[in-house]
Chains A and B, each alone.
Chain A
Amino acid sequence: MLPPIITKSRSWACALAVLAVGACATPPPADDPEAVAEFRETNDPFEPANRAMFEVHEVADRFVLQPVAEAYRDVLPQPVRNGIRNALGNLRAPVILANDLLQGNISRARITLGRFMVNSTLGIGGILDVARDWGVPGHSEDFGQTLAVWGAGEGFYMFVPLFGPSSPRDLVGQGVDIALHPLTWLGQGAAVDAAGWVRLGLVVVDTREALLEPIDQVRATSLDPYSTLRSAYRQRRAFEIENREVYGTTVAPSGVIGYGQGVTQPAGPNPEPTPPPPR
């Protein structure tokens, strides 16, 4: 049973959603325990509103995001795109480091710090992932994951247009990640602003490019893309939080948030792991 405050704030939020879009999901009758269990597990009380948001997003995606991501892939050769992805991931290193530390994971924090130092210098500002070639692949972290490690549940499901699947926990996490990022606070003036927008634009395009095949696949094969994405997002987040190392792949090195549904580092499986370089 939920504490009354949560129930209250949830029904209050639901009322807001009703005002905004139209309706909340109707809970199943209490005499059908299986249906109630399923409803809880799905945990999508604002499903009608979320589905409306999803439709909005799909239109924007088909007309803008997807064509831009396809053009990006067509115009730039893969080595250039890899360099961009590496550089974006490297720029995010301070946020990853902070979250490694907040999760109390010193060994992963050392990896992030070491990679940042090596790639920023020898890797020419992060364009080359030298540390990976040395057998130290990167990983992603975000404050949503940190909250999960601290014991916060993800909460109900949300679909945010242009942003994708999320939850209150992950949305808060993204706000904190932006606040944690040194670039948010660094400098001012037109040039800095422009650089910030370029970075944001590249992150969006890079993330969407990485998702071209997965999303095409979902659209082609799913009977209900909305619920497929919902399930995939949840499983993916659980997997990211678990920090299980997948040999040869790295989870979402560059995504602003690392919320990806299959966003992985380009390039093949790692060479045989070699001892980390002396620090």
Chain B
Amino acid sequence: MTEKEILRLKKIATHIRKNIIVSTSCAKSGHPGGSLSIADIVTVLYFKEMNVSPRKRNNPDRDRFVLSKGHCAPALYGALAEKGFFPEEDLKTLRKVDSYLEGHPSAKTVPGVDISTGSLGQGVSNAVGIAIGGKLDGRDYRVYTILGDGECEEGEVWEAAMCAAHYKLDNLCAFIDVNGLQIDGATSEVMNPNPIGDKFKAFGWNVVEIDGHDYRAIESALRKAKKVKGKPTAIVAKTVKGKGVSFMENKASWHGVAPDAEQTKAALEELDRFEAELDSAGREA
């Protein structure tokens, strides 16, 4: 991945981060912390990796994405708006009664969403089903999903993990967003799901451990995942909850609380400054 490419992706991710702040702020509720932690992964998937387009929404060969940690819908919606699935302006209607942007992803109402999620543990099973469907139909699309590390406390994650390995679903790639925090505090204190990579390995998955904010690492992990035959891949991504907004970083309290007007202003200013830095880096390059 070239520096130029990284700059392009970082700009998109920053834009998505700004929209996470704006949309949750307008909604006066939602989940900014985890949305910010997955913004870089979502950006690489939607703007580098996956074959999806609003113009070919029902293309049977399109890659599929399931946001298993459905509460981080603001990150997904930000990417879908940026991709052109719906107007960016609509992000301000998130969670409102007359909006199609449900609090958690809804396949019935949100353009570009294939699977309704929100109840933790189920999205990864849904992704397994899509991967089996792809194999049955002899299509070569890939299925991506993002789980939270807290989500790995759900038993269903491991039922799905067993199933994906059993059916040798090498068309399935799951990111685990290891930000180390859940609503009630540190995952290690609430109910320790670690070591997550070892667990997926034991369940028969190909496991890659990366920094979930390092674009080259994300891209390289995705490349490795594609090369592995006969096994699904788990990309265990170490991330920072609240990434990009310094006062939100590494704080469990930002799991499910929206920023108020003042916090929104501060967050957007910080992201604007970062965007300006990216622009000047771009001019230098």
A binds B: no
Which B residues contact A (CB, under 8 angstroms)?
none
Which A residues contact B (CB, under 8 angstroms)?
none
